[in-house]
Structure formats: structure tokens, C-alpha cells
Amino acid sequence: MLSIAGLVIGAIWGGLRARARGGSGFDIAQYAAVHGLGLAILGLFVSIVILRAG
């Protein structure tokens, strides 16, 4: 569940960041994809740590 939340939050954050820098549509899509995947992977690791600890 944390990985899905990370994907959504990362995509929104990346898109807003690219738009603030004046990027084109492709730039916004690339930033959204990279940030979304990065936070999804981070959320996956956090989920694994939580499940292993409990």
C-alpha cells in the first residue's frame, strides 16, 4: 500500500517540479515517472521493513 501511495505522491511532486522549472509536456511526464518510480521503490522497502519488524 505504501508503494502505491509513493507512486502517486512522487508523480504529483515530479510533475509540479518540472512545471515550476518551465518544462514541456515531455519533461513533466519524465519527471513524474522518475519521481513516482523512485518513491514507489522507497515505499516498497519501507513496507518490507515494517512487515519484517512486526
Q: What is the 3-state secondary structure (H, E, C) of 9-39?
A: HHHHHHHHHHHHCCCCHHHHHHHHHHHHHHH
- As a whole-number percent, the residues of the chain with pLDDT over 90 amount to 96
Give just the sign of the alpha carbon dihedral 19, 21, 25, 30.
Answer: negative
Q: Give the structural domain span for 31.
A: 2-53
- pLDDT confidence of residue 9: 97
For the chain, the domain total comes to 1
**Is the confidence at residue 54, as pLDDT, over 80?**
no
25: pLDDT confidence band, cut at 50, 70 and 90? very high
- pLDDT confidence of residue 42: 97
* pLDDT tens digits, 28-39: 999 999 999 999
* pLDDT tens digits, 6-20: 999 999 999 999 999
Q: At 53, list the grid cell.
A: 519488524
Rounded distance between C-alpha atoms, residue 33 and residue 21, angstroms: 16
